[in-house]
A and B are shown apart, each in its own frame.
Chain A
Amino acid sequence: MARVYNWQLGREMSYWYPESRPQRQFAAVFDTNKCIACQTCTLACKTTWTSGKGQEYMLWNNVETKPYGSYPLAYDLKLLDMLNGQSWAGNKYEGQTIFESAPAGERVLGWRPEEQDYAYPNVGEDDCANQVDGGAFLNLPHMNWFFYLARICNHCTYPACLASCPRGSIYKRPEDGIVLVDQGRCRGYQECVRGCPYKKVFFNPMTGTSEKCIACFPKIEQGIQPQCFVNCIGKIRLAGYLSRPDQVREDNPLDYLVHVKKIALPLFPQFGLEPNVYYIPPIHAPVSFNQQLFGPGAGDAMKAYRNAGNDPDLASLLCLFGSTEMMVSRFRRTGDVISGSDDKGAEVVRVPMREPVYIRPAIDTKNQLVRINCP
C-alpha cells in the first residue's frame, strides 16, 4: 500500500494506490436542516438513470431517516461495529481506516449486503430517536429528534470501490474526480460493492455488472448541476468543485463552506475515503451523534450554522442553494444580494438574502370580504 495524505483525518494514511488528485474535484454540500425527505431527488435519479431491467432495487440517491434509517440495511452500523470503536485526538484521527484495518488477503475492510438488506429502503422512516409518550404535545426545543440524510456516491478522493476492484474497472476522472465503473470492462465480481462503506455501488443481476452514481457527468460537463440537485424541493444541495485545503479560494462557494467556515463536513470521515459530499449537520440532533457521523468538527459547525443570521456572507451563500441549475464557481455578496458566476466569470444567478414580504389586510374593504388564506 502507498502512503497518501487525507486532510479530513489530519494525517497520512495507507491506500492501495499512490496519491493522485484530479485537476479539480466534483463536490457537494447538503444542508440536512432543510431536507424534508420528499424523495424527489430519489425519483429524479431513478427516472433518469436506473429505470432499466436489473436496476429495480437500485437507489443511487436515497434519503434515510437518522438515527434508525439506512439503505442498505445497517450499512453504517455494520462497518462501525467492524471498526470496533476508534478515536480522534482533536482534529487528528487516531484510529484505523478501512484500508489500514483490511484483514490479511483483503484490500479493504468490507462486507457484502445480502439480498434482503436491500428490501427495506424506508426502514426507520420518520422514527424519533426515543419514544414519544402518549399525551405528548409539541414543545420547543423538541423533546425528541430525528433528521433526514440524503445520500449519493461521495466520489471519494480515495475510493474504496476503486481500490477493491482487482481488474481496475473503476476509475476516477482526472478532469473532475467523478468516480465511474467502466461498464465495458466490469465483470461483476462485486468487490466494489463489498468495499464501498457507503454501499453506493449496486450489482445489476441482469447485466452482471456493478453500477453506481455517475454524478450526472453529461450535465456536469456542461456546467449544470446533477438531477438530484436541481430537482430538490427543499433546496438543500449545492454542487461545485472543492479545492485542496492549501489552495482554498474564498469566493468558491464550496471552499467557503467546507474550508473557510468549516460548516459542511464529510460523512464518516473515519472510514478514510476523503468523501466529497459535505453535510451541514442537523442542529437539533445531539452533538455526539453528529460527531460520529461527521467527525470532530460537528459541534463548531452546528454553532456556525446557528449563528448564520449574524454572518451575512454565510447567510447569503446559503441562499444560493437551489437558486440556479448552473454550477456556481464564484460568489459575491453586495449588500443584501448575492450573485454567482460560472467558470468564465459570467453571472448565472442573483438572489436577495430576504425575499420581499407583502402583507394583505384580512379585510378586503373594497369588496367588503374577509380574505381566507388558501394555498
Chain B
Amino acid sequence: MRYAGISVAILLMSAGCGKSPKQVTEVVAVERAALPSNPTDAAWDEAPEHQAKLLPQDQVEPRVLTPTTGEVRVRALTNGSEVAFRLEWMDDSKSDKPGPAMMIDACAIQIPARMEKDLPEPQMGQDGKPVQVTYWRADWQAAVDGRGDTIRDLYPNASIDHYPQEAKPLAPGSDAQKEMALRYSPARALGNIRGGPRAAPVEDLVANGPGTLSPGPSLGAKGKGAHQKDHWSVVISRKLPEGLSPNQRTHIAFAVWQGSQRESGARKMRTGWITLSRRSGS
C-alpha cells in the first residue's frame, strides 16, 4: 500500500511537470538554430535541467560560513557558435540598488580558458590555468532596463548642493562638461568597466586564482535577468568555449550572490566543476 502511494505521487509529479525534460547530472547544451535571449522563452523547455548544489565559498577569506542559496537550476542551449545558459535560483528579495552596505543580486558562470588534461582550481582558477568568467548583476540589469544614471534614480529624495560639471559656463553635453564630470568620477576616468554607466548587464572576465579577477578578452557576453516573485531567472550567453565542439565536453562552474544576504565578491555560494556537454536537439 505504501509503495502504491509513492507511485501515485510520482505519477502526479510527472503530470505536473509535463513540459520539463528530465533532470540530468551534467549541464547539457542542446543544439538549436536560434538562442533565446529572454529567460521566459519557451525554447528553454527543450533543454534538460541540471540542479547544481551550491556550496559556501570557504576557501579564502572572507569566507561564507553559513550557507544561503541552496541550488541553482541550469539549462543550456547552443547554436554552434554561442552557448546560452539560463540560471534560476530562489531569492524572494530583489536587491538591485547599490549603496552603502547594500549588496547586489548576481550570478556568474566559469569555464576553463583552455582545454587541458588537468582542470584549473574550481575556485577562480589558478596561476597559469586561467578561467573565463561571465558575470551578471541585477543593478546593471536595472540600468539597462532604463534606470537613470543619477543619484535621484537611486535615492529620489537625495539633496544635491552642487555639481561642478553642471555649473556655468560649461555647456550641457559639451566635451568640457564631460571632462569635468570625469574629474569627480575617478573609476570612470580610469576606464574601470565596473564604473559604468552600463550598456550591458554582463561582463567578460578572466581569473588566475582568487583575487585576480580582471577584464578579459571579449567573449561576446550577453545577458538578461528577470526577478519573479520568489526567484531570479537569468540568461547568460557567450562565445562557444574551447572544448564544446560536437562530441567534446568541457567543464563549468556557477556562482550566485544574494544581496539581501550581504553577499559580494568572495562572499558567495558556488559550485565545483560540473561537466558541460553538447548534444543535438531532437
Q: How far is the CB of A62 from chain B (nearest CB, A)?
A: 15
- Cross-chain contact A211 with B186 (CB below 8 angstroms): yes
- What per-residue 1/0 map shows which CB atoms of B242-273 lie under 8 Å from chain A? 00000000000000000000101111000000
- Cross-chain contact B98 with A209 (CB below 8 angstroms): no
Q: By DSSP majority rule, is chain A's interface helix, strand, loop, or mixed?
A: loop
- Cross-chain contact B195 with A56 (CB below 8 angstroms): no
- Cross-chain contact A166 with B61 (CB below 8 angstroms): yes
- Cross-chain contact A52 with B63 (CB below 8 angstroms): no
- What per-residue 1/0 map shows which CB atoms of A103-119 lie under 8 Å from chain B? 01111000011110110
**Set of chain A residues within 8 Å of B169, measured between Cβ atoms:** none
- Residue of A112, A118, A190, A208 touching B194 (CB-CB under 8 A): A208
B117 part of interface (Cβ distance < 8 Å): no
- What per-residue 1/0 map shows which CB atoms of B137-158 lie under 8 Å from chain A? 0010000000001110010001
- Cross-chain contact B100 with A208 (CB below 8 angstroms): no
- What per-residue 1/0 map shows which CB atoms of A357-372 lie under 8 Å from chain B? 0000000000000000
Q: How far is the CB of B102 from chain A (nearest CB, A)?
A: 7
Report if A53-B163 is in contact (Cβ < 8 Å); known contacts: A105-B64, A106-B62, A203-B99.
yes
Report if A166-B187 is in contact (Cβ < 8 Å); known contacts: A56-B158, A207-B194, A208-B194.
no
Give Cα A324–Cα B82 distance, bound, in whole angstroms. 64
- Residue of A51, A189, A202 touching B164 (CB-CB under 8 A): A51
Which of the segments B2-10, B12-20, B177-185 contacts the partner chain?
B177-185
The winner among A54, A115, A164, A186 for most chain B CB atoms within 10 A is A54
A185 part of interface (Cβ distance < 8 Å): yes
Give Cα A88–Cα B160 distance, bound, in whole angstroms. 45
- Cross-chain contact A51 with B187 (CB below 8 angstroms): no
Q: How far is the CB of A86 from chain B (nearest CB, A)?
A: 23
Would you list which residues of chain B between 157 and 209 have a CB under 8 Å from chain A? Answer: 158-165, 181, 183-192, 194-196
Report if A112-B262 is in contact (Cβ < 8 Å); known contacts: A56-B159, A106-B61, A184-B191.
yes
Give the nearest-CB partner of B99 in chain A: A205
- Cross-chain contact B264 with A189 (CB below 8 angstroms): yes
- Cross-chain contact A51 with B162 (CB below 8 angstroms): yes
- Cross-chain contact B211 with A207 (CB below 8 angstroms): no
The winner among A52, A118, A185, A189 for most chain B CB atoms within 10 A is A52
- Cross-chain contact B192 with A107 (CB below 8 angstroms): no
- Cross-chain contact B210 with A166 (CB below 8 angstroms): yes
A206 part of interface (Cβ distance < 8 Å): yes
- Residue of B63, B97, B185, B195 touching A105 (CB-CB under 8 A): B63
B65 part of interface (Cβ distance < 8 Å): yes
- Cross-chain contact B62 with A184 (CB below 8 angstroms): no
A97 part of interface (Cβ distance < 8 Å): no
Give the nearest-CB partner of A54 in chain B: B151
A50 part of interface (Cβ distance < 8 Å): yes
Would you list which residues of chain A between 26 and 73 have a CB under 8 Å from chain B? Answer: 49-57
**Set of chain B residues within 8 Å of A112, measured between Cβ atoms:** 100-101, 262
Report if A166-B265 is in contact (Cβ < 8 Å); known contacts: A54-B151, A190-B100.
yes
- Cross-chain contact A115 with B101 (CB below 8 angstroms): yes
Q: How far is the CB of B267 from chain A (nearest CB, A)?
A: 8
- Cross-chain contact A205 with B98 (CB below 8 angstroms): yes
Give Cα A4–Cα B72 distance, bound, in whole angstroms. 43
Give Cα A189–Cα B60 distance, bound, in whole angstroms. 15
- Residue of A52, A189, A205 touching B154 (CB-CB under 8 A): A205
- Cross-chain contact A207 with B154 (CB below 8 angstroms): no
**Set of chain A residues within 8 Å of B267, measured between Cβ atoms:** 189
Q: How far is the CB of B129 from chain A (nearest CB, A)?
A: 19
- What per-residue 1/0 map shows which CB atoms of A180-213 lie under 8 Å from chain B? 0001111111110100000000111111110100
Report if A209-B101 is in contact (Cβ < 8 Å); known contacts: A105-B61, A187-B194, A188-B194.
no
A78 part of interface (Cβ distance < 8 Å): no
Give the nearest-CB partner of B189 in chain A: A183
A286 part of interface (Cβ distance < 8 Å): no
- Cross-chain contact A183 with B65 (CB below 8 angstroms): no
A168 part of interface (Cβ distance < 8 Å): yes
B58 part of interface (Cβ distance < 8 Å): yes
- Residue of A106, A107, A114, A207 touching B100 (CB-CB under 8 A): A114
**Set of chain A residues within 8 Å of B158, measured between Cβ atoms:** 56
Give the nearest-CB partner of A193 in chain B: B100
**Set of chain A residues within 8 Å of B214, measured between Cβ atoms:** 185
- Cross-chain contact A52 with B266 (CB below 8 angstroms): no
**Set of chain A residues within 8 Å of B159, measured between Cβ atoms:** 56
A167 part of interface (Cβ distance < 8 Å): yes
Would you list which residues of chain B between 40 and 93 have a CB under 8 Å from chain A? Answer: 58, 60-65
- What per-residue 1/0 map shows which CB atoms of B208-239 lie under 8 Å from chain A? 00111110000000000000000000000000
Give the nearest-CB partner of A195 in chain B: B62
**Set of chain A residues within 8 Å of B187, measured between Cβ atoms:** 183-184, 186, 204, 207-209
Give the nearest-CB partner of B183 in chain A: A52
Give the nearest-CB partner of A49 in chain B: B184
- Cross-chain contact A209 with B151 (CB below 8 angstroms): no
- Cross-chain contact B184 with A209 (CB below 8 angstroms): no
**Set of chain A residues within 8 Å of B99, measured between Cβ atoms:** 115, 203, 205
Q: How far is the CB of A311 from chain B (nearest CB, A)?
A: 44
Give Cα A189–Cα B102 distance, bound, in whole angstroms. 10
14 contacts between A and B (CB under 8 A): A51-B162, A52-B184, A105-B63, A113-B100, A114-B101, A115-B100, A164-B62, A167-B265, A189-B265, A190-B101, A190-B103, A205-B100, A206-B154, A209-B186
Residues of B in contact with A (beta carbons under 8 Å apart): 58, 60-65, 97-103, 139, 149-151, 154, 158-165, 181, 183-192, 194-196, 210-214, 262, 264-267
Q: Known contacts A56-B151, A185-B214, A187-B194; can you find 7 more A-B pairs with CB under 8 A? A: A52-B184, A53-B185, A184-B191, A189-B266, A190-B103, A191-B62, A209-B195
